[in-house]
Chains A and B, each alone.
Chain A
Amino acid sequence: MISPLWLITTYFCLLIPLCVMARRASRNGSAIDHYLASRSLSFFVLFLTLFATCLSGNTLMGHCGQAYYAGFVWVLCAGLWAASMGSFHLLVPKMRPLAVRHNFVTPGDWLRFRFPGQKSGCWLRQLTAFCLCVAMGNFLFSQLKAAGEIMALMTNDQISYELGVILFAVVILVYDSLGGLRAVAWTDVFQGLIILLGLLLLVIWLGGQSDNLAQFGEQVTSHKPEAALVPDRAAQIKWVSLLLMAYMSVVIYPQSMQRIFAASSHKVLNRSFGLMSILGVGSSALVLVIGWCAISMVDPNVIHNRDQVLPYILELWAQSSTFGRLAANLTLLAVFAAIMSTADSLLLTLVSIFKHDFVLASDRQTLSKDYWIAIVVMGIITAFALNRDITLWRLLEFKLELLIQCFPTFVIALHYRRLPAQPYLAGLVCGLVFLIASLVCGITSFGGLSAGLVGLAVNLMVIFIVSRWCRNREWPGNPVAD
């Protein structure tokens, strides 16, 4: 592919004025202004920042590769979106008003409010923050990895994978620190539009390779006849397991929670989620079409890693014509934008959790320590990301397995307010011990069900048992009683 480096440089340069504008628009140097843009995100900005953040490098590259290798069974990718968008009904209607009334900035603020004056509540908040940090750190790590891969491919290794990762990390760090959530959301608007345009262009080109939809499907079945067969029981159980995982874990994403807190009104938030749900499934359908088209276009011997499927398709497109070259570059930029918009949100959320959720009380008026925390966090994750030998799909699965353990702490504790912190803490500890033990033993699933889901079952069982013991006991500062 002819060097699209100029395109990326121009793109970075276009982001700078947006960040400067965001910096100027900031009202004060408080945490609520930096991390929640003073709860001022309008419908257009909120919708596109949610879309760009959720459509990550994993979604584009990981799911495209999975669709290429797994065939038609990967239609479940659209289900993951549908399930995850539906699950926010469990959280938003109750959490949002509390967040506004009690000035929540981070997910830990919910636990501070829910379990006030309880020592076990403090431990629960710290352990939950630790889980969220590991999951988000892992997610950020995968975004850096994806960025490094793309840069290396685009420049034919003129920029090595390692240098690509470091450059990307520095750019994210700079604009995250400059303008906080306001800069992230404004740049996400730009990035969201590029993603939509890039995906549409690619699907239009791929559509031109077949005369009609029927021919496209037949091409896939003729190249991979086993793809059209009904999947076996193991694959079906995994399918159900992934749908359940998506339903119960994506709702805990701290970067989404941050946007729930940051919306300018309830109405804006509801409408953004409404549009997101339909556009999310539509986008995943486009990603699936790309992956399935690759089956008839890409020789499996050429691809060494499933994350290389999408870049390879783009390379084929670039070779087809001059317009193809331009459009392929734009789509590559869309992939880059997807990675970037997810990575910047992750960094911002990680820093806010590190700063506020591990300590008893934190300074919310100044941001002096936040920049240093951002540098240290990004430095550590970049160092890990220099390891190239792990696929994006496995990273995504591990993140979901970890996040799902926090589901009771947020969703069940929100709807069932009679219990103190002890049952949730005991459940979380047992769920995590189970998950880590099974991962150490190399067990990733139990009869097809993922270890994370079985860990959640253990977690819920322990909560039930301990709650029987706690039910009739008085506990201090019950917000329901208050």
Chain B
Amino acid sequence: MRFILHGLDWIGIRIADKKLQTMKYNNIRRLYYLAVFLLMAVSVPWYRTPGQETELIRGFPDWVVIAFGCYFTIATLNMLLWFFSRTER
């Protein structure tokens, strides 16, 4: 039961323990910032040779597809965090 409550609590549906919830929310927020900076770093093709011709994925260079993927993931994570975020009182 406690496991289920914590699971629901983690996705922001039920507030079982406000202190616990705040701690978890802050941890999730930290994870979110980390994920955003990692995805942003991956979106820039610094790990490829400049001027190199790359494989096309459905007509688009792979680095463009990766960048798009990163930005949509950031936007989705951002949306989830907004939906589950609680404004400080």
Contact = CB atoms under 8 A, between A and B. Distances in A.
Interface string A356-383: 0000000000000000000000000000
A478 interface: no
A230 B51 contact: yes
Given A97-B89, A229-B51, A236-B44, A277 B58 contact: no
Interface of A: 72, 75-76, 78-79, 81-83, 85-86, 89, 92-94, 96-97, 213-221, 228-233, 236, 239-240, 243, 266, 269-271, 273-275, 277-278, 280-281, 285
Contact of A273 (B51, B76, B82): B82
Contacts of A269: 87
Q: Which of B61, B83, B88 has its CB near the most chain A CB atoms (within 10 A)?
A: B61
B59 A240 contact: no
A89 B45 CA distance: 27
A213 B87 contact: no
A243 B54 CA distance: 23
Given A79-B40, A228-B61, A89 B74 contact: no
B50 A231 contact: yes
Q: Which of B40, B50, B54, B87 has its CB near the most chain A CB atoms (within 10 A)?
A: B87
A223 to B, nearest CB: 12
B88 A93 contact: yes
A266 B83 CA distance: 11
Given A85-B75, A217-B56, 4 more contacts: A79-B67, A229-B61, A277-B82, A281-B75
Contact of A216 (B59, B70, B86): B59
B43 interface: yes
A220 B64 CA distance: 13
Contact of A270 (B43, B54, B71, B87): B87
Interface string B40-54: 100111101111111
B84 to A, nearest CB: 9
